[in-house]
Amino acid sequence: MARSFFRKLLTYLSSDDELDAVINVEADGESSRHHGNRQRRKFIRRDHIQGHEHLFCDYFAENPITTALRMLAYGVTGDFMDEYIRIGESTAMESLKKFCKTIVTVFSYEYLRSPNANDIARLLVVGEQRGFPGMLGSIDCMHWKWKNCPAAWKGMYSGHIREPTIILEAVASYDLWIWHAFFGMLGSHNDINVLERSFIFMELAQGRAPPINYTINGNDYTMGYYLADGIYPKWSTFVKTIPSPQGNKKKNFATAQESARKDVERAFGVLQQRFAIVRGPSRLFKVNDLTNIMKACVILHNMIIEDERDDSQGLNMEYDQLDDDLLELSCNPTNEFINFIQRHHEIRDSSAHHQLQADLIEHHWQLYSQQ
């Protein structure tokens, strides 16, 4: 009944008589402009009924989500939402926690998954065109400040930033899609400590990752790699820059590697720009709640990337034309411990790392010479 009353009231206020009265007032103000030297204000016809419907859906719908989305996007506190949503701080925080938990539960399988065979095929094509055959993305870590970290834990969560933080390890591709998100490590750790505890190479070590085969400078390789900064170890799955390159070949490679590695830095920047809650200090107290918030933001970020993705990206490539059988996914897990140990050593092979880097240096120099 209240809803019907408001609709009738808004219909009356939006009538032509009321509009004419406003226009007449504006006209009178125009005629007396010489007294106050006032400029005529432009009248804007507003759809009050539609506005009321929107507000009703925001406030009183069966499953409203306005509070959670506004807190994620603007990073505001729970009590701040009372000014617009008209609900208490505890209710706003509860809505945020339940919304993020639901997002993670429902959409993690699709939007926090590892690349499948078709995804890897696309990433390999893009990497080839960017001068890095076999590249699957870039890896790095981001710190999220934890303002309300319990006093007893501040020492564990404080690192080089001198404030309590929680670390997100992520892998991002050229289109800023985040393929790997490992969150929850103490801020006192560095990128290497986080890498040792993450699951980024779990499927590869267990023999369940899609096979990858490519050739660089006449040498064959069977594992993809990520671009990384100097702190990461010399593994066959990482390609790092050269700190002090000597000679034109190494300088050319360092420039190309550092430029392509910015994909993950850009992904972090876009994630924080879209969801201010992960840009500023967190005010929650429980690590599980913070984990759900971070994962929910990554999932929503990937949803936006999928919706706004420009498949061409200036690469002159049609993804739909890729052969679905280009890479065959192996779903048979390997339970033999000896094979697991062998793959584990192959991932950490420093000699393969140096060989891969040397081949990429020659590959980029050939591309530069052709240009």
In the structure, what pLDDT confidence band is assigned to residue 238 with cuts at 50, 70 and 90? very high
- Shared-domain flag, residues 195 and 308: yes
Cα–Cα distance between 177 and 302 in angstroms, integer? Answer: 6
Is 339 within the bounds of a domain? yes
Radius of gyration of the chain (CA): 27
Contact of 326 with 214, CB cutoff 8 Å: no
Domain boundary among 66, 89, 109: 109
pLDDT: which is higher, 312 or 202: 202
pLDDT: which is higher, 332 or 119: 119
Q: What pairing do the DSSP bridges indicate for beta strands 178-186 and 214-216?
A: unpaired
- Shared-domain flag, residues 307 and 192: yes
Which residues sit opposite 181 in a β-bridge?
170
Is 33 within the bounds of a domain? no
Domain count, the chain: 2
Is 212 within the bounds of a domain? yes
pLDDT: which is higher, 162 or 8: 162
- Shared-domain flag, residues 318 and 197: yes
- Shared-domain flag, residues 363 and 329: yes
- Shared-domain flag, residues 195 and 229: yes
Residue range 174-198: average pLDDT? 90
Residue range 145-169: average pLDDT? 89
- Shared-domain flag, residues 89 and 228: no
Q: Is 236 exposed, middle or buried (0-12, 13-18, 19+ CB in 10 A)?
A: buried
- Flag whether pLDDT at 96 surpasses 90: no
Residue range 214-237: average pLDDT? 90
Secondary structure class of 220 (helix, strand, coil):
strand
- Shared-domain flag, residues 125 and 197: yes
- Shared-domain flag, residues 105 and 123: no
- Shared-domain flag, residues 261 and 214: yes
- Shared-domain flag, residues 69 and 123: no
Domain hosting 263: range is 114-143+166-282+289-370
In the structure, what pLDDT confidence band is assigned to residue 27 with cuts at 50, 70 and 90? very low
pLDDT: which is higher, 370 or 27: 370
pLDDT of residue 266: 94
Contact of 294 with 144, CB cutoff 8 Å: yes
Domain boundary among 109, 128, 155: 109
- Shared-domain flag, residues 208 and 100: no
Contact of 173 with 153, CB cutoff 8 Å: no
Q: Find how far residue 215's CA is from the centre of its chain.
A: 31
Is 32 within the bounds of a domain? no
- Flag whether pLDDT at 204 surpasses 90: no
Where is average pLDDT lowest: 59-63, 95-99, 280-284, 287-291? 59-63
- Shared-domain flag, residues 231 and 350: yes
Domain boundary among 109, 126, 156: 109
Contact of 140 with 191, CB cutoff 8 Å: yes
